[in-house]
Chain A
Amino acid sequence: MLAGAWAAAAYALWQSRVPGGLDLPEVDLAGRIDPDVIARSKRYESFFRIEFVVAQLVLIGVLIAYARWGIRFARESAAGRIGTGMLLGMIGLALVWISQVPFRLAEVWWDRRYDQTDAGYVETLFANWFELGAEFLFICFALVIVMALAGRFPRRWWLGAAPVFVGLAALFAFIFPYLSATEPLGRPDLEAAARDYAKQQGIEPVRLGVEDVTDFTSAPNAYAVGFGPSKRIVFWNTLLDGRFSDGEVKVVLAHELAHHSRNHIPESLGWYALFAIPGAWLIAVATRRRGGMANAAAVPLSLLVIVVLNLLSTPVYNAISRHMEQESDWVALETTRDPDSAGGLFENFTIESLNDPAPPTWSYLLFDSHPSVEQRIAMAEAWRERSK
């Protein structure tokens, strides 16, 4: 019955505005984008594929070692059961952070070679410390909840923990727009378009902002955050620096609005809930032979389980994400009725961000949270055909 409810919920969340049986036409990429640029983007992205695989292997290796020997760090604690668990969780994160430092530096090196960033190596190292501190706090908070529940309900803690984490994720998704630093957009044309598009998509106008990212990247981007009264659309200033036409920026605007009008953020929380419950159960099962999550000795193993589960679920999450992005692309086309700008935008992503327009299938399934540039251009063409 639980499986049936899970499947029914998943089916409900999977519903989309993209017409069923939509055939995407073949796209002549070489005719639209300079072949040298395509070759360059393939070289650029191939590094990240290899780097990701190696980084994950190193990460899992480190966590296997930590799961095996990490309990030794318990002697560094005078903090009792939960406090020791918190320490072991933070040390695990610290080891993960250390193991990933070479890869972060390699990424910066590669980005600098392809003019995708001006960030320095030292700056990259220190820029992550604040983020790491937030992660330390988060894992402590999470372990307090899990270990306290596991202390009281050793075998059923996951039933209580999963809803708590879903609630926290929802809370974070709601308040995130209030925490991030953005500037007012200052573009009356875009603000007017936003009001118009919101009306077309059947929602109230959404607040727009700009985030200055020039210190760490030149890649263009925009994103939708928040839900209910905290809804926001944030443009990176790299998208508004003149490299993209007004029509292209409006396609981005309509796309991000579609995330709100199609309730993608609440839906993402729904998907998270669907995965959190079996995920918490798997952690509970996996850590039983270490005394369960009530025992600090189980914390290093639980980190390994979380990372492995996360890695295994990445293709599924990416498939869900691509499904939502595809829907937003379609709604954006219906809103702007401008497939030329949409096509131009996606072409520009390859030129400016060096997105491989047609990545290998295995890479696409494993890594890509958005449809490929080729698919997005094809969708714009499909919409053009349908609208005739």
Chain B
Amino acid sequence: MDDHPVRITVDDDLRRSRLTVFFRLLLAIPLLIWLALWSIVALLTAIVGWFAALFTGRLPEGLHKFLAGYVRFTLHVSAYVGMAANPYPGFTGEPGYPVDAVIPAREPQRRWKIALRLLLAIPALVLAGMLGSGAGGAGGTPGDDSKLAWFTNTGVGGVAAACAILGWFVALARGRMPLGLRDLGAYGIGYTAQANAYLLLLTDRYPNANPEALGPTWSLPEHPVLLELADDGRRSRLTVLFRFLLALPHFVWLLLWSIAAFVAVLANWFVALFRGRSAGPLHRFLAAYVRYSAHLDAYVYLVANPFPGFTGAPGYPVDVSIGPAESQSRWVTFFRVFLAIPAFIISTVLNIVLLVVGILGWFAALATGQMPTGIRNLGAVAVRYLAQTNAYVFVLTDHYPFTGPALRAPAEPDMVVAEAAA
């Protein structure tokens, strides 16, 4: 696994104070004002640091410490506003917050990388914008009206922002943040911190979107729909160049299959409502459709390489295993569409993330013949979540889609092969 020097730590017990949750944004106003002022100073400091690093090959010690504090403070504020942590953060960016960043000591950096840092950082900033913190970020400063800066800074439409909004409702009702939403939010915020550290010359290691390389060991609860990843990262440049066009027959086929699937879902819903479990043939038909959609998503967005089959048969390098039909709560079945609304919201955001992964991966794979592992794994997480959402909506399971960014359950490998055993 690729260990990035900028890592995040998550030491949060998921408990939330309902009162501070309710007033979270208002409580954050002083933090946000302070962050805005700090951002202005950080920008000026970064410019000075850029010239200094260009001549000496590393940031001056004082500037490094100042900017590291700024990156940590940004992360703390983002975690607080984004519901990924509970306590009110300090104003100095000191280490020790439940969601924190480990910033490496200053180290020599290649000068050409320093000179081109702003340009090199653009793909990472775009991705950070999508995984968005929902609060601060060094991609821009208040008053900077460039679109990239605005996107990165605000995290509008970002993953962390969506997690924050959904998490706000849950935490208010239950006094706890759901594990998946907390993890995904922390992942988005953590990646943004890596991007900020790279942009601000705290490290010359490029941000790594791989959820497994960010620091924490993300948990993955038992779920009948699991990801099976057997992709080697190699990509054929020719098929990458024409990827979208090559997928056209699949789009046509998916459209036709979707019509049949829609009818099958309605039938399955009625069956599950009366029998308490879905019918075997419908379950198999819809499971094949869910797998096929996952294969196609993986292919189109370059998460996988080979041209997928048209039947949704298992065995694709980025596959989802789906458990057999099981008993389901009739209440959950009856209200399935309404219950799925939060999953639809996360799915929508992850679809956009997949698109960004596809676009960035397209350039990278075309140039190198390889899909970067980081964004490939991020894409795989999105594919897994979309498949879990489909399985939930299609009444294949009543297990809610798990939002966390884990690729696989770390300590329980048997879970991954549960489908094969079944």
Give me the interface of A with B, judged by CB distance under 8 Å: 73, 75-80, 83-84, 86-87, 90-91, 94-95, 129, 132-133, 136-137, 140-141
Of the candidates B239, B245, B305, B310, the one whose C-beta lies within 8 Å of that of A83 is B310
Mask of B284-321 contacts with A, CB within 8 angstroms, 1/0: 00000000000100000000011111110001110000
Contact B245 A76 (CB under 8 A): no
- Decide if B23 is an interface residue (CB 8 Å cutoff): no
Of all A-B residue pairs in the complex, the 6 with the closest CB atoms, nearest first, are A78-B306, A140-B249, A77-B307, A87-B307, A79-B309, A94-B242
CA distance A137 to B305 in the complex (A): 20
Report if A73-B236 is in contact (Cβ < 8 Å); known contacts: A78-B316, A132-B245, A133-B245: yes
- Decide if B263 is an interface residue (CB 8 Å cutoff): no
Nearest CB to that of B252 among chain A residues?
Answer: A137
CA distance A84 to B246 in the complex (A): 11
**A72 → chain B closest CB, angstroms:** 9
Contact A76 B306 (CB under 8 A): yes
Of the candidates A79, A95, A137, the one whose C-beta lies within 8 Å of that of B248 is A137
CA distance A136 to B242 in the complex (A): 10
Residues from chain A with a CB closer than 8 A to the CB of B236 are: 73, 76
For the complex, would chain A's binding face be called helix, strand, loop or mixed by DSSP majority? helix
CA distance A140 to B305 in the complex (A): 19
Contact B249 A94 (CB under 8 A): no
Of the candidates A75, A95, A136, A141, the one whose C-beta lies within 8 Å of that of B246 is A136
CA distance A77 to B242 in the complex (A): 14
CA distance A79 to B308 in the complex (A): 5
Contact B309 A87 (CB under 8 A): no
Residues from chain A with a CB closer than 8 A to the CB of B249 are: 86, 90, 136-137, 140-141
Residues from chain B with a CB closer than 8 A to the CB of A86 are: 249, 307
Contact B242 A83 (CB under 8 A): no
Contact B248 A80 (CB under 8 A): no
Report if A80-B309 is in contact (Cβ < 8 Å); known contacts: A90-B245, A133-B248, A136-B246: yes
Nearest CB to that of B315 among chain A residues?
Answer: A78
- Decide if B173 is an interface residue (CB 8 Å cutoff): no
Contact A94 B241 (CB under 8 A): yes
Give me the interface of B with A, judged by CB distance under 8 Å: 236, 238-239, 241-242, 245-246, 248-249, 252, 295, 305-311, 315-317
Nearest CB to that of B310 among chain A residues?
Answer: A83
Contact B245 A77 (CB under 8 A): no
**B247 → chain A closest CB, angstroms:** 9
CA distance A155 to B191 in the complex (A): 59
Report if A78-B317 is in contact (Cβ < 8 Å); known contacts: A73-B236, A83-B307, A91-B238: yes
Contact A87 B246 (CB under 8 A): yes
**A140 → chain B closest CB, angstroms:** 4
Contact A91 B248 (CB under 8 A): no
CA distance A90 to B295 in the complex (A): 19
Contact B245 A94 (CB under 8 A): yes
Contact A79 B310 (CB under 8 A): yes
**A112 → chain B closest CB, angstroms:** 27
Report if A90-B309 is in contact (Cβ < 8 Å); known contacts: A133-B248, A136-B249: no
| Residue contacts A-B, CB under 8 angstroms, 23 given | A73-B238, A76-B239, A76-B306, A78-B295, A78-B309, A78-B315, A79-B307, A79-B309, A80-B309, A80-B310, A80-B311, A83-B308, A86-B249, A86-B307, A87-B246, A90-B242, A90-B245, A90-B246, A91-B238, A95-B238, A133-B248, A140-B248, A140-B249
Nearest CB to that of A140 among chain B residues?
Answer: B249
CA distance A79 to B304 in the complex (A): 13
**A76 → chain B closest CB, angstroms:** 5
CA distance A95 to B241 in the complex (A): 11
**A155 → chain B closest CB, angstroms:** 26
CA distance A80 to B242 in the complex (A): 20
Residues from chain A with a CB closer than 8 A to the CB of B316 are: 78
Residues from chain A with a CB closer than 8 A to the CB of B239 are: 73, 76, 87, 91
CA distance A137 to B247 in the complex (A): 9
Residues from chain A with a CB closer than 8 A to the CB of B309 are: 78-80, 83
Contact B238 A78 (CB under 8 A): no
Nearest CB to that of A90 among chain B residues?
Answer: B246
CA distance A94 to B305 in the complex (A): 17
Nearest CB to that of B313 among chain A residues?
Answer: A80
Residues from chain B with a CB closer than 8 A to the CB of A94 are: 238, 241-242, 245-246
Report if A136-B248 is in contact (Cβ < 8 Å); known contacts: A90-B242, A94-B238: yes
**B185 → chain A closest CB, angstroms:** 35
CA distance A364 to B306 in the complex (A): 46
Report if A77-B306 is in contact (Cβ < 8 Å); known contacts: A137-B248, A137-B249: yes
CA distance A77 to B249 in the complex (A): 14
Residues from chain A with a CB closer than 8 A to the CB of B308 are: 78-79, 83
A73-B239, A94-B242 given; 16 more Cβ-contact pairs under 8 Å: A76-B307, A78-B307, A78-B316, A79-B307, A79-B309, A79-B310, A83-B307, A90-B245, A91-B239, A91-B246, A94-B246, A132-B245, A136-B245, A136-B248, A136-B249, A141-B249
CA distance A94 to B244 in the complex (A): 12
Of the candidates A76, A79, A80, the one whose C-beta lies within 8 Å of that of B305 is A76
CA distance A136 to B252 in the complex (A): 12
Residues from chain B with a CB closer than 8 A to the CB of A129 are: 245
**B300 → chain A closest CB, angstroms:** 14
Nearest CB to that of A94 among chain B residues?
Answer: B242
**A131 → chain B closest CB, angstroms:** 11
Nearest CB to that of A134 among chain B residues?
Answer: B248
Residues from chain A with a CB closer than 8 A to the CB of B246 are: 87, 90-91, 94, 136
Residues from chain B with a CB closer than 8 A to the CB of A78 are: 295, 306-309, 315-317
Residues from chain A with a CB closer than 8 A to the CB of B245 are: 90, 94, 129, 132-133, 136
Nearest CB to that of A137 among chain B residues?
Answer: B248
Residues from chain A with a CB closer than 8 A to the CB of B238 are: 73, 91, 94-95
